[in-house]
Each structure stands twice: as structure tokens, then as C-alpha cells.
A and B are shown apart, each in its own frame.
Chain A
Amino acid sequence: MHVTTRFTLIEALRNGGGASAWERFYNTYSSVVISFARRQGCDEHAALDVLQETMMVILRKLPDFQYDRERGRFRNWLMTIASNKVREARRRAKVDRLVSLDAPQEGTHPSLADQLSAETESASDNLERDWRSTLLETALRKILEDPRTNSVSITIFRQVALENIEPSEVARLHGMKENNVYQIKNRIMTRLKAIIAELETGAVSEDC
């Protein structure tokens, strides 16, 4: 029988939870930070820089972090750090570009440095929007990559929630009742929201 124990990664890390706690933290939040950096306009290299620098701050600051289970604190802290590091990546891209003026241009997409002259400071709403999109993307990826997730359920969810196909039509396609389609959609939506909530607070469910 599985017993699910909720604990917070943050608490584990603060209490010296060791290598496994750190590994889980990194595995959970590295994709969040990378995705956020990309949404903020970073290319692959800059996004990895943002990840490295964000994780270094967390390494240093986590022991002093005033953690409580209030939903907003951890996510605001992490988002603030990551957005600061994106700004630093932009400054660095400009300087690195000046240093390598004679170097051949790599890639076909505009570099972060190219955007500097036309860029305006991101409004706080853009940061918040990008952060939410990041969490949603991370949660969706977790569900899709979870071997326990039924592939038919995913297909049904995509059809109803993403492609806006009428539930009655989806039910007909899969030979099931319409009510079942709603149940599947709602089940996945509930999981999505739960994962997002975990990401925001640093709480992680673990089977033991």
C-alpha cells in the first residue's frame, strides 16, 4: 500500500537534507528557471547562465531564507532571483558581444544583445505572466512524462482542453460516455493545479 508523504524540499534543504534533497530540488526547479529565462528572451547559453547563477544564490541564501508555507514567499523569491539574473545575462551579452566583434555570428536567431537597444524594462505583469506560463509548462511536462499517466487520457485532454473539440464528439471518438470525458479532463486539470501549487511552495509529494 502506498502512503503519500508531503514534505517540503525547502525544509529538507534548510535542515541539511543532503545530496538527495538538493538533487530533487535541482531536478524540479532547473527546468522552471530555464523555461522562464527563455520566455524572457534568453537563448540557450544565456538561459544556462541564468540557471547557474540562480542556483548559486539559492545555495548561499537558502539557509537564511525565512520559509513558511505561505504560498507566495518562495515563488516570489525564486522569481525575483531569476529575473535579476536574466537582467545580468543581458548586460553580459552586451559586453561579451563588444569583446568578440570580429567573431563570426553564431545561429540565425537574434542574440540577447541584439535586443538591448530596442528593449524596454519588462513590466511586472510580463514577469508574472512569464512565470505562470513557466509553471504551467513545467507541470504539463511532468504529467506527460509521468509513466503512470494514461496515454488515452492525455489524448482526450488535448482534444477537449487544447483543441476545443466538443466533449460529445470526443466521447463519440473514444466510444465512451460524455461524462467520462469531463471526468478525465477534470482529473488532469486537478493534477496540473496541484503540481503548480507544489512548485510555488517548494512542497513535493513523495511515495514512501
Chain B
Amino acid sequence: MSDLNLKHIARLARLHFKEDELKVFEAQVAGILKLVDELKEVNVDGVEPTSHPLDIKNVFREDEVKPSLPIEEFLKQSPRSRGRFFEVPKVIEDK
């Protein structure tokens, strides 16, 4: 994979890498991608993709309210919270 832009992919995945780490990874990931390139030789014309190994359909739950989780207890283990909220550095840009 000559066009492997690891920095772009790392940004998409929100992963920080040190420069030297990046180099090792680049080689390793390229090696794996070379292996999976063998899939090109398989003819899959007219083959449906399998995203599920089993043929299950139409699974629902009923529209009934069940008790929620008491957040006070959970917030104690949150890395940062304020009152009943989770807290993050100010988000400047909007979505």
C-alpha cells in the first residue's frame, strides 16, 4: 500500500502516535495489507456480502419504559464531571 496515509487514518481514529511509533506501524500495517491483497483474486460476482453469520430477522423490543441508571453513582467514576454532567474542554466549533 503505497498510498497508506497513516497520519490521516490516525486522525480519523483519534489516535496520537509518536513519530518513531508511526514508522514501525507503517511497515507492519503495510505488511498486513499486502497479505489481504490476495482477496483481489477471488471472484465474487453476484455474491451477497455476509454481515451476519446467521439468518435472523425482525428483532424488536416493546415500547415500555424501564428504570434508568442512577447517574450520581456512575459519575463518581467519570474522569471529569460537574453536577449531573460529564465535563469536557470547551467545544468551540459546532457540529
A-B complex is real: no
Which B residues contact A (CB, under 8 angstroms)?
A: none
Which A residues contact B (CB, under 8 angstroms)?
A: none
